[in-house]
Amino acid sequence: MKAPSISSWFGRGEIAAPPDIESAALRSDRFRIEREGDWRRLEDIVKRMESGGLRRIADEDLIALPTLYRTAASSLAVARETSLDAATLAYLEGLVQRAWFQVYGPRQGFSRWLRDFLLGGWSRAVREIWLDICIALFVMVAGAIVGWLLVAQDEAWYYRLVPGGLADTRVPGASREDLLATLATEESAAGLSSFAAQLFSNNSGVCILAFALGFAFGIPSLMLMVHNMAMLGALLWLFAGQGLLTEVSAWLSVHGTTELFGILLSGAAGLHIGRAMAFPGTRPVLAAASEAGRRGAVVMVGVVIMMIVAAILEAFPRQLVEGTGNRFVIGGAMLIFWLSYFFFYRPRRALENEG
């Protein structure tokens, strides 16, 4: 776009412009002519970036882009201060806005980001912390076993491990019928949506805390997982005492395969940051922690999605679907889905990035 010349404003000389207006127009033309080459180069680069991304930009143009942007922004500031002609001002405002987006703006829109995240980005980030996942899995299993053994030796440990909200009728000494009643289904879905929201809030809070505590070399994250799994071990011991281990396992599997997987990933993400800080290798500690934090953040965005899914499963299918077999089918299907997505689903683009 070219700013209009003097003749476009005052005709072909039929009407003489007042001296002060003519002087301003001359200054505007001189200002534009001196800088127009840089503006047009910037406009050409921005136009190519808008149509084809960085692939169509030569290296020298890409290097010059920040400088050209700052030049255009400076020209815009001058144009505003000196009240240059409206056409030049409008052109510069549009050019600077478009260039700012290419220099500082997001490289992709939300829809594209979400597609890339779900179609490879999330699963790739999970695979990159595989060692931390293995450590976290070992800790979680060990926590459940410790919880079982503690209450098996001293029932007082049950009240220390299990929150009061869960220990209503699910307490040592409860009859088989009382425990079986806690696994029963609801007659309707009324009120379960608010229950799902409450569950999501609780579950996501645990996961975010496990991730956030990773900065302390991952130790608090591991301790939090041990505590949560010890509570699970205590509950399993309680139901196993009345011959209901299979029933409670099926009841828990509906949402547990998703929820526990999410807790596993959040703890592993926190541990990943802690390990990077404790063993940064040849990199500075802050650089290692920053890189691990970005990778862990990607995992945690996905964990929030998993907690939404777990809350829905816990509030609806678990409460409405009866039968041990049916519940195992739902829980098993969710486990297979997550394992397949994280460790077997590898789109071509994700493989290229990993290579």
Domain positions in the chain: 6-104, 111-354
24-28, 117-121, 273-277, 337-341: range with highest mean pLDDT: 337-341
Could you read off the pLDDT of 60-99 as tens digits, one per residue? Answer: 887 888 888 888 888 888 877 776 677 778 888 888 888 8
pLDDT value of position 72 = 85
CB 292 within 8 A of CB 258: no
State the Cα–Cα distance between residues 168 and 121, nearest whole angstrom: 43
Residue 106, burial from CB neighbour count under 10 angstroms (0-12, 13-18, 19+): exposed
191 pLDDT band (50/70/90 cuts)?
low
> How many CB atoms sit inside 10 A of residue 293's CB?
19
CB 269 within 8 A of CB 214: yes
What is each CA distance from 174 to 178, 239, 333, 335, in whole angstroms?
6, 9, 32, 31
pLDDT value of position 167 = 58
Question: What is the average per-residue pLDDT within 293-319?
Answer: 89
- Global pTM? 0.68
- Tell me: pLDDT of 6 over 50: no
CB 239 within 8 A of CB 245: yes
Percent of the chain with pLDDT over 70: 80
Question: What is the average per-residue pLDDT within 231-246?
Answer: 94
Contacts of 262 (CB under 8 A, 6+ apart): 203, 207, 303, 306, 307, 310
CB 321 within 8 A of CB 185: yes
pLDDT value of position 27 = 65
Could you report how far apart the first and last alpha carbons of the chain are, in Å? 44
Report helix, strand or coil for 189.
coil
State the Cα–Cα distance between residues 265 and 341, nearest whole angstrom: 14
Could you read off the pLDDT of 243-267 as tens digits, one per residue? Answer: 999 999 999 999 999 999 999 999 9
With CA atoms as reference, report the closest residue to 185 among 325, 331, 326, 318.
Answer: 318
State the Cα–Cα distance between residues 323 and 276, nearest whole angstrom: 45
Residue 93, burial from CB neighbour count under 10 angstroms (0-12, 13-18, 19+): middle
> How many CB atoms sit inside 10 A of residue 17's CB?
16
